[in-house]
Every structure is written in C-alpha cells, then in structure tokens.
Structure 1
Amino acid sequence: MKSGVALFLVWVALAQGEEPAQERLVNTKQGRVRGYKQPGDDIFVFYGIPYATAPTGQWKFKDPIPAPTWFSTFEAINNTIACPQTKLNNNFTFPMSPQENCLVANIYVPDTTQKKLPVVVYVHGGAYLVGSGTMMEAKNLVRSKKVIVVTFNYRLGLHGFLCLGTHDIPGNAGMKDQIALLRWVNKHIESYGGNPQDVTIAGQSAGSSAVDLLMLSPAAKGLFHKVIPESGASLAPWSIQIDPLENAKYIAKKAGFDNVDDIYALEEFYKTASFDLLKSTSEFLERTDANFLLSPCLERKGSEGPFLTDSPYKILKSGKYPKVPLLYGFADMEGLLHVPVFDTLREKMNANFSDFIPADLKFDSVEEREEVAKKIKKFYFGEKPVSQESILSFINFISDVYFGYSTLKAVQLFVESGHDRVYLYEYNFVDESEPAIPYTDNVRGATHCAQSFAILDGKNFESPDETMISEEYKKVKAVMRELWVNFITTGVPVPPGSSLPAWPATGASGAPHMSLGRTMQLRSGALLEQRVRFWDSIYERHYRTPQPPPAPPTRHTEL
C-alpha cells in the first residue's frame, strides 16, 4: 500500500510538471527502506520506520517488543504518526495521527558519500504528555552534511509513565521505549550512513529531562557518547514522580474508580481501561507544586529490567554514571511558559502560597511548611501581594522552581563527582518582533526552550518557516547550529581553530558559563548565584527523596 502511495505521488508530480522527489533505497537488517529527497534539497528523509512494537491489550504497559521485519520495500513517507495523548495536542498546527502502535523513528540523512557520520538522537518535549518525533524537525543541522538526525515517538501520559510496581504495570514504559530506540540505532544506523559508536542524545523540556535521566540509567549505558539537555534536568521536581502510586490513585479517582487501595483492582482498572479514558486531561500548567503527575519513576531494586532504581540526586552524588561530554543549559526566562495563566496563579499565590512549594520538599508539620512558604514568598515578592507589577518576580520564581535551580544543582554535583566536560550556558536572545511581557514597560525575555527553537527548523511550533524571521535571528540560529554541530562532532562547542569565542568547561559554581544572545559572551561569575544559594538553604533541610511503588502484597488465589 505504501509503495502504491509513493508511486502515486511521483505520478502526480510528473503530471503537474514538477520534478519528482529523488529516492534512496537502503538495505537494512529489517528489510529494504526507501526514503526521499525533495527537489532543491540536499537531505534524504525516512519517516515512520518501526523501531519497536508497542504491546497492546492487557499488556499495554509492558516493555516494548522487537520491531517488525519485512520482505517488500518499506516506503518511509508517513510523518503524521503520534502516540495516544491528551487533547493538549490540539494547540499544535502540525498534522498528527495518534495510534496505538506508534513506536516509529524518522531519519534525516545528508546527500553525501561520507559514511559513519555522527548521529544525534533528539527526544521531543511535551511534559511527558504530548508531542511526536516530527512536531519539530532539525533538517538544518543535517544540511551541514556533518551529522545524521534521528527523531522518534515514545509512549506518553499514562501509557508511558503509569507506575504501579506490579508485574503487568512496572512503570517507565516510555523510557524503555527510548532505550529500545537507542538499541535500534546501535543496530541499524550504519545502514543509513551513521556511526553507532558516535551517538549524541539531545532533547528539549521533558526530552531534556529524559536524556539527563538516560545518562544516569544503567540500562542505557554504552548506547550514547554525548548528551545535550535543553531546559530540563533530572533533579527537577517534575522529572521523577515523588510518589507514583499516589499519583495513580489520584488519576483513577478522577476517572471514577474508587477501589484504589486494592492494588490488583487498580491494576485491572488500568489494564482494561479504554485508550480514550487513558488519555487523561493535562493539569501541568494549572498545577501549583511543579508536579506533572506522570513522568519517569523509580523502580524497586531487584525488579525485572528496571530503568532507574536510585534517585538522580544519589547517582549524581556518587559519581557512578558515564561522564560523557555534556552541553547543558536553559533560557533566561523559562518561567514565561506560565505567563498565560499568571492572573489565575497570582490569585492562588495570594490565597495560599504554601500550595506552590515544590512537590519534592517535605516538612514535619503544617507550621513548618507555612514558615518555609512565607520565606520563599518574601525572597521573590517581598512583603507585598503578588500583583501585575511583580510579574517579573513571578517569572523568576517559575524559572527557578521548574528549570534553573535543578540544572545548576546538577552542574555542582557533576563537577564535584569529577565530571570535567560540562559546558554550561544561558540563552537570552529575544527577537525584536516578540511581544513584550504583559504588565511591563517593553521587557522581553527568552522563553522556555528558546534555544531549542534557535537550533531546530522554523521559529517555533506555530511557524516552521524560516523565510519570515528577522535577519538578526537568522544569524543567531546559524551560530547556535554551529555550536551544536561542533559539540555533536567533537565533544566541545568551540573546538580549537574555531572563530567563535573560547568556551571552557564549567566549575561547580556554574562559572564560567557562556551567555548566548546577540553575541557570545563568556561570563566568569556564577550563574544565578543568589537564587541558587537560597534554594540550597531550602533543599538542604527539606528535600524529599522520590520513592518507587511499594511491593504489592502476595496475590492469594482460590484452589
């Protein structure tokens, strides 16, 4: 059928007097795969290649199973496949076709005779709830003719991150999909011209958290050689479920199931629930405790094929992880992500600021919690209520809680454990065409994952076309892509002989670090030093270690 579709498209192009897309046939261990290069372009794209198979029915929360093979030629042309997800994807303009068996990869290959090119595997963001491998593309990185890019889908929401700790719902299906993809790359990418021994994992937002966690997972060891997390860290309050069983109970109750204290009844509810029910509505922008409910979890030690059994903090502190080159950072106003709900959240802040304490903090009493909430509120907002006049303080608060502090704390732990190849940055370019922040006198900032938009194709999710962006932004994009390609190919963002400013590895304090804006500036001071020290004083006393689901009781059956 797909072969027929491809031939039909060629016939239509010829009938309309257009030059048909040039094809490339690749022989792989799965079978023959045909991709296409559009007229006037210089990259071949292979869409929708199965890298694993998602289990179905009562097994839908289990590990992915091996990818299929085929005897006829696989036409790699379907770029609309997505995993089942919440209705949040209606905000996106790109076409998506959510389907149960969604574990596919997309490969972008330059038109070159060079073999064994470095490979970058890009993990899409979306709060572990939405998105797909083709929601944004990185064709311009590939046009450098120096790298191959792989994007892919992984199971999302409850399908990917429900963690009961039972035999049939152990947890982390979405992360095990990602490991299956990396194994698939290791096995098959050489057929497409890539080097399986030179793989960089990169990602934005939840994808950034994911690659940060993959670096710490023993299950992913040896499957990658460099890491680029963009605006999301393994230590973020939303990155690991603090209490996955309580989250599962909460979501089940919202769906109308009340027998949540019987773990086997709860397991049966989820195993038999429809896909529509399991889509679950997203609360992540409305939640106040920096907890997305559904994200990776810890699994019990001794469980079968776990993704992660120790907390990221413990692993980073121990230094027992591969110290591969790391390009690490965030945008200067990540908290702009929450500005659309600012007016609602500020009212909640003024009513009860303790609701905004991150989920990974714990207290011995209500009084202690209220005292810490008062301290946090005073640090960011002084003695005044949160108001329109304090929107920049609100943005700083959200930026620190969700992204900044966890990244910089991880940097400290990286360096203290002997990691001397961490390259830290803050991205702060804002195009003059961007609207000013509400309630300010023409203040602008770089929003959540702004650096990712600078590297990927287009302006943002809504605007994949680069012909309409300013000349200044085009120049920034060119520099950012050069830095990223340098890192992917050499392990350093500015190699010897480059015309770009020297960029040394950072120290434990976050100094030096690179400011990436209209120009590149190496800063000798610690990044967000005062704000990091403040949160250190909170977390040193109140950090709550994430826990795996408890072992289920022995199931008794009647004879």
Structure 2
Amino acid sequence: MARLLLVLFLTALYKSVLCEEQESRIVQISQGPVRGYKDHEENLYTFFGIPYATAPTGQDRYKAPLPGPSWLTPFDADNDNIICPQAIIPAFKHLYKNADMRQNCLIANVYVPDTVEKSLPVLVVVHGGGFQVGSGNLLKVKKLVASNNIIAVTFNYRLGIHGFLCLGTQYAPGNAGMKDQVALLKWVNENIANFGGNPNDVTITGYSAGAVSVELLMLSPLAKGLFNKAIAESGGALGVFAMQTDPLENAKGFAKRFEIEHADDAYALEDFYKNASFETITSDSFFSEMFSPLFTPCIESEIGQEIFLADSPINILKSGDYEKVPFLVGFNDKEGISRIDSFETWKNNMNQKFSDFLPPDLQFRNKAEEELTAKDIKEFYFGDKKVDDDTILSFVDFMSDVSFAYPILKAVQLHANAGNNKIFLYLYNYVDELIPVVPHTDVKGATHCAQTFGVFDGYMFSNDTERDLPHDYKKHKVILRQMWGNFIKTGAPVPEGSSLATWPPTGADGSPHMLLGQSIELQDSALLQERRRMWDAVYSRHYRAPSQPQAFVLFSRNEL
C-alpha cells in the first residue's frame, strides 16, 4: 500500500511539473498568434525567436529588411538560440553551444511579466559586439524585467559585411543592420500593446556597439518618434569604431584578400560582393588589430533610397537638428582593461612607434606632424617613462580614453549644447572580490561593459547564477536595477521622493555626474577634465570626418 501511494504521489508530481513546464500564453500580433512560455526562474513569460522582419537574400542581401512573415496557427516562440551570421570568437565559444546560425536571423525576444496590468513601460535592448558578433539573447534581462514590472525586447540585427557593407549603390547602400534596428522599433510600436506594453513609452538601451547604435538611433530621422528615452553604456556615436571613416577602402581591402582583379573598379567590386559565397563573407570576424572593426555604420549617399544617416554624427549633434530625449549615459573607470590581452605585444611597439596607436579618425598634413602629435600624447599619459609593466595603468587609461571615455564625454557636451537638459552621466567603478587585479599592480577596475553586467542577469560572460555571487555585489545589482528601472519608467534614475542619492542632470562639462561604485556618490567636479581637454586640443586640429562612398554615386545613379 505504501509503495502504491508513493507511485501515485510521484505520478501526480510528475504531471504537475510537466503541466508547469508547458504553461503558456498566446498573444495575437499583426502577423498571427504567438505562443510564449512561463519562465521557471522569474515570474514572467518569454517569447523567443519571433521574426520581426525578413533578411533579403541573394544579390539583395545588403539591402534594407523586408516585412516579416505571417501565419495562421500559433507560432511556437521557444527558440532562444537563433543568431545572425558571424565568425565565432574562440573566447566566447562557450556562449554559443547551441547556436542556430541562419541568414534569415531577424528575430525578436519578448520578456513579459506575469500580470494583468496593461500599458507597461517597454525596454528595447540593442546587443553589443563591435557590429561583428553577438545576439539578442547573449545577455539576459529577466531580473530587470521582474524587479521593475516592465516589458523587455531583445533582438538580432545583421552583422559584419551582411549588415554594414557600404558601397553607396542600389545593391549595397549601407547601414542594413541599422535599418534592421529601425524595423524592430516599428515592430514594437505596432505589436507591443498586445503583450501589455505601452508603444508610447519605449526606452532603448545598448552596451558597447549597442550603445553606439542607441545614439545613432537618436540622431536618425528614420527612428524619430519610435522611443522616448535612451540609455547608452560604454559606447557612443563619436567612438572610433562607430562609423566607417572610409567605407570604400574597407570594402576594397577585404575584396583584395581574395585576389579579386580590378577591385578598385566600381562594377568589379560590387560584382564580387553580390556573388561572394556565404562562407566568404562570414569567415572573418572583421576586427582590425587596433581600434576599429572594418564594417560598421556609415554615412550614406543619396541614391533614391531611404537613408538612415545622411551626415556625420558630430555634424548632426552640432546642428541640434534631432529629437532630444532623456539620456542615461556613462562608462567604466578602466574600460581599457579590455585591451590587457594585447599589452605584452603592444608595449614594445608603442615604445618604438607610438603613432601606430593613434585613433584612425585623426589625420595629419605630413609624417612629422603625426609623430609630434604622437609624442605629445605619449608624454601626457606616460611622462618620460616607457610603456612597460610599471606603467600599465597609464596604458589602461590611454585605451579607455581613445575608445570610450573621450568620445562619450564629447557627445555629452554636444548634446547639452544642443539643448538636452535631461542627460544623466555616470562613471562606474564597482569591483567585487572575484575581479582580478590589473597585471603587475594591486589595482582593480571596472572593465568594458561592467555596468551592463551589473544590471543584467548573472556575472560577466559566464554561466554563474546570481545565487553564487558575492553578497555585496548582489545588493549592488539590486540598486542598479532600481535606478535603471526608475529611468525606464520616469526618465530619471532617481526621481523625487526616492531613498537613493539625488542624481540631477549633467551639464556640458560633465558635471555633476554620479559615481557608481562600492558607494554611490554624486560628484560635482567635471568628469576626467584634464584628459578631455587634451583630446579636445588634438581633435580640434586633426579630426578626420567619416566619408560617404562618393566614388560610387555617379555609378549608382546610372543604374536608376
């Protein structure tokens, strides 16, 4: 009898668990019904892999996205492994164990709290990865959603050559990946109310290249009115990898690797890319040795098609001709730690020829001027010392400023000068007991995108669950999610009446700004003032603006 009761109990338990595992919800969207499933960790439903648009194929594969498919029976939204074509970087291979790489990869993932409430605030997350790698589900946002009762949407967009080949022709006008992002925002605007979200209360957020994307979306007329708040973490539109300085040279350079004859000829170059195999244009991660990936957003030429960006970000910012929205923006105190792996190789090269390490968006009248500028910059960071183990922290500062800190601070200045009085600036420097020290020092620091890991689920790019994290870091993550949630819901990270430290908007000089670390403190001083002034002087004399693919304009018009 006891055995029979045990069998009956276990059978009932199994059925209960099975029922719980299969608990689902169907939502009707413009394309048809979609079925999402209850998450076992948080009180929410997930809808994975919904096709929001269609990636063109064949010779049209570099064009803007096409409308998504439609269906009559419920679409099972349960595939969270779809990624766009990309070369898998060995260091992150463990994150792509079950990756479902496909050309038609334009999918959205929707995280919905288990509530009957309607008109919830919406967060759209743009993933990072230098515009070359990554996916919408690389980092998870379940705890941010659950703790703030918001809806979040993550998604894929085309990467590398697939998304950012920019020839200025009918077949490859440029910015396909950014047009994917606009298509996603339009999809959200049309469908999110059916999930319980408010299409008029949408915040866009991104980290690294995703942060670049966020700021470019702020500047693009195509995205106007599709969101009303923005968060950019560790990246911005003025960064050295934000725009292709010379998209035609990048396209020619890659084609020449395959010994293409007449790669300098417009017809031959376009013919190569139109007919190149899928393997050819996906085989490379397209990261250059120094600062810039090859294929990133570009300024488009006027060829009779819809344009995402018709001018350089700095010109648009200076003009002020774009819609201003509340903007939460910042970076980490030691972003340059992300370059530490290259230090042993680069330090000797930097001592021999520091000019090789200048940002690619600088130009000089002659070699003498370039070498003199390089000498001044090297002395600013390293004094009369060599780049070696004893000055590795100066190396970290240099790399931080070139790639992230200075471009972000310059953009903040221009946004403020353009009339945006709702910019909330932060410097993130939280470290926990698991963070290693910078080699050759006893110093720790927050590396690239550390604040993103603080807000999102888990710990860094690892499989650690939050229950395994240090207690203080878990408390810190709760506070960050509260601030980010406040901003998503109100347009301010610390609204009136909050128990958190007061956080007013910043001015053009980067003051005040919030220090987000072991303690959270408002700083009245201008952020990195001396380092910023030095780069202001350099860029005022030597800035090289990104160019359009002008050589192809006449060629393209002849096709019309």
TM-score, normalising length from structure 2?
0.94
Q: For 1:87, what is the secondary structure of its paired residue?
A: coil
After the TM superposition, which residues 190-209 of structure 1 pair with which residues of structure 2 at under 5 Å, given as runs?
190-209=193-212
Q: Does 1:186 align with 2:189?
A: yes
Q: Does 1:219 align with 2:222?
A: yes
Partner in structure 1 of residue 289 of structure 2: 287
Q: For 1:126, what is the secondary structure of its paired residue?
A: coil
CA drift of 1:287 comes to 2.0
Q: How many residues align?
A: 544
Distance 1:416 1:16 in 2: 58
Letter of the 2:245 partner, please give it.
Answer: I
Query: Do the aligned residues in 1 keep the contact of 2:173 with 2:301 (CA within 8 Å)?
Result: no
Letter of the 1:401 partner, please give it.
Answer: V
Runs of 4+ in 1 over 6 A off after TM superposition: 15-18
Distance 1:127 1:427 in 2: 21
CA drift of 1:351 comes to 2.3
TM-score, normalising length from structure 1?
0.95
Partner in structure 2 of residue 548 of structure 1: 548
Q: For 1:463, what is the secondary structure of its paired residue?
A: coil
Partner in structure 2 of residue 273 of structure 1: 276
Q: For 1:544, what is the secondary structure of its paired residue?
A: coil
Partner in structure 2 of residue 4 of structure 1: none
Partner in structure 2 of residue 105 of structure 1: 108
Distance 1:507 1:89 in 2: 42
Letter of the 1:513 partner, please give it.
Answer: H
Partner in structure 1 of residue 454 of structure 2: 454
Query: Do the aligned residues in 2 keep the contact of 1:105 with 1:150 (CA within 8 Å)?
Result: yes
Q: For 2:122, what is the secondary structure of its paired residue?
A: strand
Partner in structure 2 of residue 5 of structure 1: none
Partner in structure 2 of residue 7 of structure 1: none
Q: 74-83 or 143-152, which moves further after superposition?
A: 143-152
After the TM superposition, which residues 73-472 of structure 1 pair with which residues of structure 2 at under 5 Å, given as runs?
73-88=74-89, 91-94=92-95, 95-282=98-285, 284=287, 287-288=289-290, 290-301=291-302, 303-440=304-441, 442-472=442-472
Distance 2:305 2:476 in 1: 46
C-alpha change, 1:555 and 1:429, in structure 2 (3 Å) is closer
Query: Do the aligned residues in 1 keep the contact of 2:123 with 2:153 (CA within 8 Å)?
Result: yes
Distance 1:423 1:173 in 2: 30
Q: 80-89 or 60-69, which moves further after superposition?
A: 80-89
Distance 1:502 1:259 in 2: 61
After the TM superposition, which residues 494-513 of structure 1 pair with which residues of structure 2 at under 5 Å, given as runs?
494-513=494-513
Task: Please list the CA deviations of residues 418-444 of structure 1 after superposition, one character each: whole Å capped at 9, or x if unmatched.
Answer: 11000000000000121111111x210
Query: Do the aligned residues in 2 keep the contact of 1:511 with 1:524 (CA within 8 Å)?
Result: yes
Letter of the 1:196 partner, please give it.
Answer: P
Distance 2:61 2:13 in 1: 40
Query: Do the aligned residues in 1 keep the contact of 2:137 with 2:155 (CA within 8 Å)?
Result: yes
Task: Please list the CA deviations of residues 87-118 of structure 1 after superposition, one character each: whole Å capped at 9, or x if unmatched.
Answer: 31662423311101000000000001110111
Unaligned runs of 5+ in 2: 1-11
Q: For 2:351, what is the secondary structure of its paired residue?
A: helix
Partner in structure 2 of residue 3 of structure 1: none
Q: For 2:550, what is the secondary structure of its paired residue?
A: coil
Partner in structure 1 of residue 6 of structure 2: none
Q: For 1:316, what is the secondary structure of its paired residue?
A: helix
Letter of the 1:278 partner, please give it.
Answer: I
CA drift of 1:20 comes to 2.2
CA drift of 1:292 comes to 1.5
Query: Do the aligned residues in 2 keep the contact of 1:93 with 1:461 (CA within 8 Å)?
Result: no
C-alpha change, 1:419 and 1:353, in structure 2 (3 Å) is same
Distance 1:183 1:301 in 2: 23
Q: CA RMSD in A?
A: 1.8
Query: Do the aligned residues in 1 keep the contact of 2:218 with 2:322 (CA within 8 Å)?
Result: yes
Distance 1:466 1:258 in 2: 54
Distance 2:146 2:65 in 1: 32
Query: Do the aligned residues in 2 keep the contact of 1:235 with 1:407 (CA within 8 Å)?
Result: yes
Partner in structure 2 of residue 31 of structure 1: 32
Unaligned runs of 5+ in 1: 1-10
Distance 1:498 1:121 in 2: 25
Distance 2:476 2:91 in 1: 30
